[in-house]
Chain A
Amino acid sequence: MAIPKVLGIETEYGIAGGPELDPIVASSIVVNAYAQQGRTRVNWDFEGETPDLDARGLPSLTSFAPVVETHLANTVLTNGARLYVDHAHPEYSSPECRTPFEATLYDAAGEEVMRRALLVANESMAAHQSINLYKNNSDGKGNSYGCHENYLITRDMEFGHVVRAMVPHFVSRQIIVGAGKVGAETKYGLESSPAFQLSQRAEFFEEVVGLETTLKRPIINTRDEPHCDAERFRRLHVIIGDANMSQVATMVKLGATSLLLSVLEDRGADVFPSLPRHPVQAVRAFALDTTLTQTVACEDGRQRSAWDFQDELWHLANDYANLYGAQAVADEDEVQVILSQWREMLDGVRDNADAVADRVDWVAKLRILRGYQGRYDLGEGDAKLRAIDLQYHDLRSERSLAQRVGLRSLFDSDKVREAVHNPPTSTRAYFRGQCVARYPDQIVAANWDSVVFDLGQGPLQRVPMMDPMRGTAALTKDLLETCPTADDLLERLDR
């Protein structure tokens, strides 16, 4: 049986402005502004962080292990999320969610957290130092930063099967969930000098499988850092994705991937479409082709377009949902919404792009680019077109183009506001968020798999949360509500 597809998204935001245009300083100002006005000042706990462990079990002799920076602003929010400075970007890592729809809500909450942080931060800044944030993945000059997805998968499966099953999806899903980009910026991309690409990230990928995330980026990342019981679980860390402004795109990105991972766990890797012979070339070539006709050679001798891959994968997921129920992903109604949106977007991008310009980011972006270009007779590469590309992702309401193109929203503002403050009830994020809200003065640190208390006397006490499906409201709400203090809580947990 497929295990529950607990999931979440981590997003690094592009940042501009700030004192002396230093992005690390600006990022710290944004994160600290939010932490200091909020109800929490709980720090992140780095115990247990092992980003250099490789899922393939190989010593990483040729890999550059990721560096964990411990000195920068880093905090835990009452909704269970982590808000911090990663390298030179503010990053929001959503709490663990139980379904794609819920994870999309907490991604939207992350945008709202960043918007509020920005408002507070800019109150104390001179106008010429004002900071802006962008939910995108590249600066157009060869620098990329990530929007990573995380999915809980079983440990009881060889990692090679994940590679075999998921590469076709990761190279092709950009045709419906790509965020779109003007021009190119890497050596490879510049060779074909495209006016537009489907994905912000595609041209940055250089390997099929690997440990790195900042150099020689791989389609399948092998970072083996489950943040939970490593005997039972893996966390699949997906780095090949664009940050979406469209909520429906986020939901379909998460939903389709969760469904396919469940197919893999229940039916094995052999039912998946054949791999492209050259996956890296495939992902780059697909990004360059807005007509969606480009095909690549596959290991079974056939030629497939990105659309062909997605069509096969949709049928695989749809059949699975009908036969197996897909309870690991979400309830039946939500699974049906994911499948129907996935299908509509897939048919739309091929047959009637305007019909999905309210859901597919690259289509929405390309539509305004072409319109604007036509109106003013602008050449390819005109700075105004690049400005439109950047401003599509601007978080400020007064500048955001994504807020103006008519994207469908999935949640009203009350629902998002609630998610800014309150954790999902369906995973251990509930316990983390509630502890941070209820006992902020007794918590010295928290991370994905534990909360550390300091009761003022005796040693620090760590409460482990090694199972992402424990610590839910159903399991801990009564306990928390009957424990007015952290002392009470730890005493009850001790019994």
Chain B
Amino acid sequence: MTEQERIQKQRTERTAPAHDDVSVDVTKGDQLKADLDDLLDEIDEVLEENAEEFVRNYIQKGGE
């Protein structure tokens, strides 16, 4: 699967059915990923390659 397909798939899996009546229940989302290892593998794939530079360059002006 390409990266795009994989994300699409995850999105589909994680999208719950629509409720016109918002009050029914909190839509059952996905089960928490039981396997943290899979999740960490995924993080490895998408984490910015140069973490140090990425973090250093993330500078914001204050807001509000």
Mark A residues whose CB is within 8 Å of B. Answer: 12, 14-16, 21, 23, 86-89, 91, 99, 101-102, 134, 138-141, 143-146, 148, 213-214, 239, 248, 251, 330-334, 336-337, 341, 354, 357-358, 367-368, 371-372, 375, 383-384, 386-388, 390-391, 397-399, 401, 403-415
**Chain A residues, Cβ within 8 Å of B23:** 101, 330-334, 336-337
CB-CB under 8 A from A140, the residues of chain B are 55, 58
* Closest CB in chain A relative to B23 CB, distance in Å: 3
| Residues in B neighbouring A86, C-beta threshold 8 A | 63-64
Whether A383 lies near B16 (C-beta < 8 A) is: no
Q: Is the CB of A408 within 8 A of B59?
A: no
Select one of A99, A367, A391 contacting B47, CB under 8 A. A391
B window 8-40: CB within 8 A of A: 10-11, 14-18, 21-33, 36-37, 39-40
Q: How many residues in B have their beta carbons less than 8 Å from beta carbons of A?
A: 45
Docked CA distance A248–B32 (Å): 14
- Count of inter-chain pairs, beta carbons less than 8 A: 166
Q: Is the CB of A399 within 8 A of B18?
A: no
Contact B39 A371 (CB under 8 A): yes
Contact of A383 with B47 at beta-carbon distance under 8 Å, contacts A141-B59, A146-B64, A412-B16 already known:
no
Residues of B near A91 (CB, < 8 A) are: 63
Q: Are B52 and A383 in contact (CB under 8 A)?
A: yes
Residue of A21, A383, A409 near B27 (CB, 8 A) is A409
Query: 5 interchain pairs (CB within 8 A)?
Result: A134-B58, A146-B64, A330-B23, A383-B52, A403-B11
Residues in A whose Cβ lies below 8 Å from that of B16: 408-412
Q: Which residue of B lies closest to A364 (CB)?
A: B32
For residue A202, give the distance in angstroms from its CB to the closest CB of chain B: 15
Bound-complex Cα distance A15 to B60 (A):
7
Chain B interface (Cβ < 8 Å from any Cβ of A): 3-4, 7, 10-11, 14-18, 21-33, 36-37, 39-40, 42-43, 46-48, 51-52, 54-64
- Report how far A368 CA is from B33 CA in the complex, Å: 11
Choose one: B30, B48, B59; the contact of A143 (CB below 8 Å): B59
- Complex: A134 Cα to B55 Cα, angstroms: 13
Minimum Cβ distance to chain A for residue B6 (Å): 10
Q: Chain B nearest CB: distance from A93 CB in Å? A: 12
List 5 additional A-B contacts (Cβ < 8 Å) besides A99-B22, A333-B21: A145-B61, A145-B64, A337-B26, A371-B40, A387-B48
**Complex-state Cα separation, A391 to B51, whole angstroms:** 10
Distance between Cα atoms of A398 and B7 in the complex (Å): 7
In the complex, chain A residues whose CB is within 8 Å of the CB of B61: 23, 87-89, 143, 145
Docked Cα-Cα span, A52 to B14, in Å, equals 44
Rounded to whole angstroms, the CA-CA distance of A148 and B64 in the bound complex is: 9
A15, A383, A408: which contacts B26 (Cβ < 8 A)? A408
Q: Are A214 and B47 in contact, with the CB atoms below 8 A?
A: no
Q: Is the CB of B26 within 8 A of A16?
A: no
Contacts of A134 in B (CB 8 A): 58
List the A side residues contacting B32 at CB < 8 Å: 354, 357-358, 406
B60 CB → nearest A CB, Å: 4
CA distance A14 to B23 in the complex (A): 33
Flag if B40 contacts A409 (CB, 8 Å): no
Q: How far is the CA of A2 from the CA of B18 in the complex (A)?
A: 31
B29 touches A409 (CB 8 A): yes
Q: Decide: A390 and B3 in contact? CB cutoff 8 A.
A: no
Least CB separation from B38: chain A residue: A404
Complex Cα gap A391–B44 (Å): 12
Residue picked from A99, A102, A412, most chain B C-beta under 10 Å: A412
Give the CA-CA distance A462 to B58 in the complex, in Å. 43
CA distance in complex: A368, B37 (Å): 10
**Bound Cα distance from A401 to B28, whole angstroms:** 20
| A368→B39 contact, CB < 8 A | yes
Chain B residues whose C-beta falls within 8 Å of the C-beta of A146 in the assembled complex: 63-64
- Say yes or no: A406 contacts B14, CB within 8 Å: yes
Q: How far apart are the CA atoms of A134 and B58 in the complex, in Å? A: 10
Q: A99-B22, A390-B55, A398-B7 are in contact. Are A412 and B15 (CB under 8 A)?
A: yes
Q: What is the minimal beta-carbon distance from A234 to any residue of chain B, in angstroms?
A: 19
A399 contacts across to B, CB distance below 8 A? 46, 48
Given A368-B39, A398-B7, A406:B18 Cβ within 8 A = no
Q: Once the chains bind, are A407 and B29 in contact (CB under 8 Å)? A: yes
**The residue from A23, A386, A388, A409 contacting B43, defined by CB atoms under 8 A apart:** A388
Instruction: List, in ascending order, chain B residues with CB within 8 A of A371's CB.
Output: 36-37, 39-40
Chain A residues near B47: list those with CB within 8 A: 384, 387-388, 391
- In the assembly, what is the distance between CA of A481 and CA of B39, in Å? 50
Report Cα–Cα, A372/B32, bound state, in Å. 17
Q: Across the interface, do B43 and A372 meet the contact criterion of CB distance under 8 Å?
A: yes
Determine which of A16, A239, A330 lies in contact with B58 in the assembled complex, contact meaning CB atoms within 8 Å. Answer: A16
In this complex, the member of A143, A213, A251 whose beta carbon has the largest number of chain B beta carbons within 10 angstroms is: A143
Contacts of A14 in B (CB 8 A): 58, 60
Tell me if A334 and B63 are in contact (CB < 8 A). no
Question: In the complex the two chains form, is A390's CB within 8 Å of B40's CB?
Answer: no
Return chain B residues, CB-CB under 8 Å to A386.
Answer: 51, 55
Question: A203 CA to B53 CA in the complex, in Å?
Answer: 25
